[in-house]
Amino acid sequence: MNILISAYQTILYQPLFNALVFLYQYLPGRDFGMAVIVLTALIRILFYPLMIKSIKSQKVLSELQPKIQEIQQKYKNDKEKQAKATMELYQKEKINPFGGCLPLLIQLPILIALYQVFWRGLQPEQLSQLYSFVPNPGAIHPLFLGIMNLAQPSLILAVLAGISQFFQTKMVTPKTPKVKKDQGQMAQFSGMMQKQMLYFFPIFTVLILLRLPAAIGLYWIVTTLFSILQQYLVFAKRTPADIMQKHA
């Protein structure tokens, strides 16, 4: 267990912490908030190649849209059958729009380390973890845009994070036709659950962020915006007219 923790420290935490201090030192304006934004964006861009394959299959996917809609209509009361039939169609057409669970799981420890860097990185004793080639700033002034103290919780950033979380969750929640009374309890329950989640997550996000340093809130906003962009690129619904325009 100890080996795991020290490996996590050396491989994940320390490099990210050093990158943050490095950015803080060298970005114009010496703004800690900008360093947080740039580091978050860099990490998300690093993960981007994992998504490229799925973005490429998007073209085929948009051509299959009518067939997919047909399946959705046919099994609109049975999510299980719908998922299975859709997967059968992908298999037949030899495409797969999803990146896979493994790439996702590999990303998680990195994102957790990043999160910790923004949380703990502001403590002065952390500066002993700097590499020899990263100049010691002496102290980090945790300001964003010169006014917002990122070491304290911030209501504005928490609410903004909640709003972006809402849109992200809304994007991944499938549009379900109104559940009718005769559709069985299970379908009704899962439909209700999904609806509640849509509102529950953002509120939960705001409540948690109100207790954490605002640096985490800023990180949350940037990373959620990136997810929205990626989801848009992969799953953007394109009507046949759009495709015609694209290829014209």
Partner 1 sequence: MMKKFIIQVIKLYKIFISPILGKNCRFYPSCSDYMSLVIKKYGLLKGFQKGIWRILRCNSFNKGGIDLP
Of 167, 32, 151, 47, whose CA–CA distance to 99 is shortest?
Answer: 47
Q: Is 77 helix (H, G, I), strand (E, B) or coil?
A: coil
Q: Which stretch binds partner 1 (CB under 8 A): 92-100, 131-139, 154-162, 208-216?
A: 92-100
d(CA 210, CA 162): 11
- Build a one-symbol-per-residue string for 101-130: x at contacts with partner 1 by CB under 8 A, - elsewhere: xxxxx-------------------------
184 to 243, contacts with partner 1 by CB under 8 A?
193-194, 197, 201, 227, 231
Amino acid 231 reads: Q
Q: Least separation, in Å, of the C-beta of 101 and partner 1?
A: 4
Angle at 55 between CA 50 and CA 61, to 5 degrees: 135
Q: Which residue has the tokens 């360093």?
A: 35
In this complex, which beta carbon is closest to partner 1, that of residue 112 or of residue 244? 112
Q: 217: which residues sit within 8 A by CB, 6+ positions away?
A: 153, 154, 157, 158, 160, 161, 209
Q: How many residues bind partner 1 (CB under 8 A)?
A: 30
Contact set for partner 1, span 1-60 (CB under 8 A): 50, 53-54
Stretch that binds partner 1, among 21-29, 97-105, 117-125, 139-147 (CB under 8 A): 97-105
* Residues in 152-181 that interact with partner 1 by CB under 8 A: 168-169, 172-173
Determine contact, residues 192/183, Cβ cutoff 8 Å: no
Tokens coding 228: 């929205």
Task: State both tokens at 190.
Answer: 């899962």
> Where does this chain bind partner 1 (CB under 8 A)?
50, 53-54, 83-84, 86-88, 90-91, 94, 96, 98-105, 168-169, 172-173, 193-194, 197, 201, 227, 231
